[in-house]
Chains A and B, each alone.
Chain A
Amino acid sequence: MSILASPLALIATVSLVLGLAAGFVMHRSDFCMAGMFRDLFLFSRTVMMKSFLLLVVASMVLFEAARLGNLLTVPFPLLYSPTAANLIGGLLFGIGMVFAGGCVVGTLYKMGAGSVLSLTAFLGLILGSGLYAEFHPAWAAFAKSTVLFPGKVTVAQILGIDPLITILVVAIPGALLLLSWYKKGALARPSFAAGYLQPAKAALALSLISAVSYIVIGMPLGVTSSFTKIAGFFESLLFRDHFENLVFFKAVPLNATHALTGAVLQGGAAPAFDALAAIQFPLIFGIIAGSAFSALLLGELKIHFRVPLRQYVLAASGGILMGLASRMAPTCNVWHLMGGLPILAASSILFFLGILPGAWIGGKLLVKALRQHDTGACTR
């Protein structure tokens, strides 16, 4: 059967290819969003945040051009009206990603390159995603009670104007600023790493990958719903009766028509092979495998697990916090910052405003935790 005849097979194949490309690019450039936000506050380093801005502005332009060409619809599924939950979720996510040493995809590509700490954070992400189910009804009620602008998702919808206007108001000054940085050489990052890809080039590549995902699959990159599926799978095996009573795993939030094939895409947190699984699992596998392939080519695929115990604890706690925050926000930094922010979704702007103080607090706490104890260096 041709993959074109099966919408889910087509989606899974495209996701896998995009994941492989993203994982390769992220490893080569060490495109770590946690590091970008953390180092902005911890060391006043701005070069990676400049690349982040480039990623957002380039995605903004690509998404809007595609929207004007009727290649996609704005907003995409699983984006909701802004609530206080976006801000609080972003704050907790910011702390979690700094503790974990990588955001949800940073954890994946570092794990692919052999990082045992990132594997620990990954396990924490699964656990945190599952723990959220325990208080989902109360949190969902809180989120609902703090909704601003019900029924509106983007700034353009809130203002009642053409999305092109809001995009241009942000993208033009953003592009001019990036151009001035480019002329001063402020986007370049000197590195001694083999096969290094400049983060500005990585930002452009990732914006293209994100745009292809949005056009072909109907939504930008996302991974965290699958983490809840994994958590739900294990919970259903270990605590069947308790699992059956959790309403979080019964909801089916994704219910959208796939523009290219006309298929109805449905999915949720339940550990079932639905459309969300077809979209996200190949992407996750692709990011890990793409990064592992890049590391292998460079001879850098090595595993070192002799790391101070405290760093394992920090990575696990960061992962748990990110897992919880990904569901509370709802969704993660990749969904909000690489997808929602470029279409000026108000919930994603709130998430961004939350992640900034989160990364600042996380950085302060992390440095304190690392300095209080042996750093694990061994003199020979």
Chain B
Amino acid sequence: MDTIEFDVRGQLCPATLLVALKEMNARAALPKKGAVKLCFLIDNRDATVTIPESASNMGYAVTVEKKEGHYCIVIAGK
């Protein structure tokens, strides 16, 4: 499965969440069909709460992986 990555490291809230919401809405059908995963690279700890919460409410499966110096929030279809 392809992964589309968005690098929003360095940005603060709510910009990180707004980017994630914009990209999730723009590609709403793809992850839900199981065609792609969306991966958001973030270094803002607040976004590890806000993005998963919003994505779950939108019906996506969310996983958060800690990488070196940042987090990768992966959004996929359930």
Contacts and interface: CB of A to CB of B under 8 A. Distances in A.
Interface of A: 27, 30, 32, 35, 38-39, 42-43, 45, 101-102, 110, 114-118, 189-194, 196, 299-308, 311, 315, 363, 366-367, 370-371, 375-380
B78 interface: no
Secondary structure call for the B interface: mixed
A378 B48 contact: no
Interface string B10-37: 1111110111001100000000000000
A115 B10 contact: yes
A118 B66 CA distance: 23
Nearest to B4: A379
A115 B46 contact: no
Contact of A35 (B8, B13, B43, B71): B13
B69 A299 contact: yes
Nearest to B70: A302
A300 B69 contact: yes
Nearest to A310: B15
A272 to B, nearest CB: 34
A196 B48 CA distance: 10
A192 B8 contact: no
Given A367-B18, A379-B5, A305 B69 contact: no
A307 B17 CA distance: 15
Given A39-B14, A192-B52, A193-B48, A378 B43 contact: no
30 contacts: A42-B14, A43-B14, A117-B11, A189-B49, A191-B45, A191-B48, A191-B49, A192-B52, A192-B66, A193-B48, A300-B69, A300-B70, A302-B9, A304-B9, A304-B10, A307-B11, A311-B12, A366-B14, A367-B14, A367-B18, A371-B18, A371-B22, A375-B11, A375-B19, A375-B22, A376-B11, A376-B19, A377-B22, A377-B23, A380-B7
B38 to A, nearest CB: 10
A302 B43 CA distance: 8
B76 to A, nearest CB: 15
A306 B64 CA distance: 23
A309 B68 CA distance: 26
Shortest Cβ-Cβ A-B pairs, 4 listed: A304-B10, A101-B12, A192-B64, A302-B69
Contact of B45 (A30, A45, A379): A30
B12 A102 contact: yes
A299 B70 CA distance: 8
Contacts of A35: 13-14, 46
Contact of A306 (B10, B13, B18, B49): B10
Contacts of A299: 68-69
B49 A190 contact: yes
Given A311-B11, A375-B22, A377-B19, A304 B48 contact: no
Nearest to A304: B10
B45 A375 contact: no
Contacts of A118: 12
